[in-house]
């Protein structure tokens, strides 16, 4: 260890992974992690429900974005990695659940026949989608929304019934306000590089390995995602990282060439800020007004997650696939439902079936106005319609995630660049990272965290 100290603010996955990166190898600085809450892990939390460990927040990690899986394996958790048993999801469209067709890339079609057969689009929606093949290239400006690009190529039904629900399940956002570049950069690159997006995607799929040969799309851990938090905490303790919970940081200021954080009793040489943007913005007001202003502009949406257990006998038929999404145009409270017991067979208590319903997205804050009882009643009513459940749930719980999903609107990535640049010039040694900046998913948070660790402490020796 050197005499230097780096402070990490926030003990979610980003803060924990940044502290891990900083504490590894030779020449590591002292690391102190300050977490406002009384536990570590942030949005990653697993608690027992119906006798099995069910995640309250995130429940799966995108495996093809490798960083979280790599971290798990590095921490010795490889043998604990599990992947969903049930493949394929559905969408509630035109009065019933319909399996999503083959060939979708984040909801964008790359094959015609499966889309036609799916019954998801109306005849006029299909005709409009086909225009993608003949419409001329269109310039949407520098950072268009998902709806502008995908709607422009395939029409608004594809946006409403496919792309919107799938992306909103990840971002709790709306296709007409999220930046395509920030949320699906691969699609944006194809859309700007080829006239027909369907043909562009098809050409791209030919060049890359078959999705089925790449292994599972999602992964989790036996016992729930909180096992990753537990293992990281164990590792950090062993490395001598000081972990302080119940310690909200309320001020950040200069101390000569070092940094002072209230309530930390000593100055530090570098700071990694991983709390939500609305927390970090006021902290930076004095040391970098430009970065502070940028972060203050990040809008968040809130969601509620209701986990329901039913008697297995209350279902008219076994649930098929991993769950379903609901288009905004249906007007439902529910945005998505995971068939927990089908997706993760270890979470199938005898005679019970567990489902997890999400409600709320950008521009739809109805869950906030509902009591837990009313929320569950309404979601149960929608489940009756979707899967035909015949009895009330035997057990339920509601987790509310207020201001939890940063919305990457047009200009978000340019804002993140401005924040980085302002800090590099005006507050060297201070880095902002995590879900507020460059990726909401856990894998993207891990990548950012490890980059931030190396950025704030470039003196680290190879591990």
Ligand X SMILES: Cc1cc2nc3c(=O)[nH]c(=O)nc-3n(C[C@H](O)[C@H](O)[C@H](O)COP(=O)(O)OP(=O)(O)OC[C@H]3O[C@@H](n4cnc5c(N)ncnc54)[C@H](O)[C@@H]3O)c2cc1C
Query: Where do contacts with ligand X occur on this chain (CB under 6 A)?
Result: 9-15, 34-37, 42-44, 57-61, 248-249, 274-276, 279, 303, 305, 401, 404, 434-435, 440-442, 445
Write down the residue that tokens 């209350």 correspond to.
314
CA–CA separation, 340 vs 348, rounded Å? Answer: 8
Assess contact for 150 and 110: CB atoms under 8 A.
no
CA–CA separation, 2 vs 233, rounded Å? Answer: 22
Closest approach of Cβ 412 to ligand X, in Å?
A: 14
Write down the residue that tokens 């803060």 correspond to.
15
Closest approach of Cβ 151 to ligand X, in Å?
A: 26
Two structure tokens written together for 448? 């950012």
Closest approach of Cβ 39 to ligand X, in Å?
A: 8
SS3 294: helix
SS3 402: strand
Which C-beta is closer to ligand X: that of 61 or that of 387? 61
Which C-beta is closer to ligand X: that of 198 or that of 432? 432
> Helical H runs in 59-171?
67-74, 112-118, 123-130, 146, 152-154, 156-158, 164-171
Assess contact for 437 and 419: CB atoms under 8 A.
yes
Beta-strand pair 5-9/30-34: parallel
Closest approach of Cβ 296 to ligand X, in Å?
A: 15
Write down the residue that tokens 């980085």 correspond to.
420
CA–CA separation, 398 vs 375, rounded Å? Answer: 9
CA–CA separation, 359 vs 172, rounded Å? Answer: 9
Which C-beta is closer to ligand X: that of 423 or that of 445? 445
Closest approach of Cβ 276 to ligand X, in Å?
A: 6
Which C-beta is closer to ligand X: that of 309 or that of 446? 446
Which C-beta is closer to ligand X: that of 64 or that of 96? 64
CA–CA separation, 112 vs 281, rounded Å? Answer: 46
Closest approach of Cβ 382 to ligand X, in Å?
A: 18
Beta-strand pair 270-273/430-432: parallel
Largest pairwise CA distance in the chain: 69
Assess contact for 188 and 149: CB atoms under 8 A.
yes
Which C-beta is closer to ligand X: that of 167 or that of 275? 275
Q: 395: how many CB neighbours lie within 10 A of its CB? A: 14
Q: How far is CA 447 from the centre of its chain?
A: 13
Beta partners for 268?
259
Which C-beta is closer to ligand X: that of 7 or that of 422? 7
Closest approach of Cβ 278 to ligand X, in Å?
A: 9
Closest approach of Cβ 420 to ligand X, in Å?
A: 16
Closest approach of Cβ 303 to ligand X, in Å?
A: 5
Which C-beta is closer to ligand X: that of 148 or that of 342? 342
Closest approach of Cβ 314 to ligand X, in Å?
A: 25
Q: How buried is residue 291: exposed, middle or buried, by Cβ count under 10 Å (0-12/13-18/19+)?
A: buried
CA–CA separation, 192 vs 202, rounded Å? Answer: 15
Which C-beta is closer to ligand X: that of 312 or that of 451? 451
Which C-beta is closer to ligand X: that of 13 or that of 198? 13
Write down the residue that tokens 């101390």 correspond to.
255
Which C-beta is closer to ligand X: that of 336 or that of 423? 336
Closest approach of Cβ 365 to ligand X, in Å?
A: 15
């Amino acid at each position: 260890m050197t005499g230097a100290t780096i402070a990490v603010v926030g003990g979610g996955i980003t803060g924990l992974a940044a502290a891990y990166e900083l504490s590894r190898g030779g020449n590591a600085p002292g690391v102190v992690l300050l977490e406002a809450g009384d536990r570590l892990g942030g949005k990653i939390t697993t608690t027992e429900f119906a006798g099995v460990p069910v995640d309250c927040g995130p429940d799966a990690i995108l495996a093809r974005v490798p960083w979280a899986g790599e971290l798990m394996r590095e921490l010795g958790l490889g043998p604990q990695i599990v992947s969903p048993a049930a493949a394929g999801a559905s969408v509630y469209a035109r009065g019933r659940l319909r399996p999503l067709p083959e060939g979708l890339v984040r909801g964008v079609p790359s094959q015609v026949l499966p889309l036609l057969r799916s019954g998801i689009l109306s005849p006029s929606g299909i005709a409009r989608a086909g225009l993608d093949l003949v419409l001329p290239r269109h310039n949407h400006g520098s950072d268009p929304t998902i709806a502008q690009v995908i709607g422009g190529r395939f029409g608004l039904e594809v946006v409403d019934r496919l792309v919107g629900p799938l992306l909103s399940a990840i971002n709790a956002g709306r296709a007409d306000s999220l930046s395509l570049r920030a949320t699906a950069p691969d699609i944006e690159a194809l859309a700007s590089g080829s006239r027909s997006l369907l043909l562009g995607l098809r050409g791209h799929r030919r060049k890359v390995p078959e999705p089925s040969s790449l292994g599972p799309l999602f992964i989790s851990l036996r016992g729930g995602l909180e096992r990753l938090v537990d293992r990281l905490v164990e590792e950090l303790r062993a490395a001598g990282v000081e972990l302080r919970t119940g310690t909200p940081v309320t001020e950040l200021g200069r101390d000569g060439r070092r940094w002072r954080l209230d309530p930390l009793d000593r100055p530090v040489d570098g700071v990694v800020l991983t709390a939500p943007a609305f927390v970090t913005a006021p902290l930076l007001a004095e040391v970098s007004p430009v970065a502070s202003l940028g972060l203050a502009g990040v809008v968040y949406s809130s969601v509620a997650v209701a986990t329901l257990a039913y008697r297995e006998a209350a279902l008219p038929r076994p649930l098929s696939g991993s769950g379903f999404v609901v288009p905004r145009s249906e007007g439902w409270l529910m945005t998505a439902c995971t068939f927990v017991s089908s997706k993760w067979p270890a979470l199938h208590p005898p005679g019970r079936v567990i489902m997890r319903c999400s409600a709320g997205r950008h521009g739809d804050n109805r869950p906030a106005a509902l009591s837990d009882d009313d929320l569950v009643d309404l979601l149960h009513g929608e489940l009756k319609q979707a899967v035909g459940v015949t009895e009330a749930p035997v057990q339920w719980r509601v987790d509310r995630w207020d201001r939890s999903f940063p919305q990457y609107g047009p200009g978000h990535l340019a804002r993140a660049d401005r924040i980085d640049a302002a800090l590099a010039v005006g507050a060297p040694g201070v880095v902002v990272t995590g879900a507020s900046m460059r990726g909401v998913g856990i894998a993207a948070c891990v990548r950012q965290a490890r980059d931030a660790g190396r950025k704030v402490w470039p003196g680290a020796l190879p591990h």
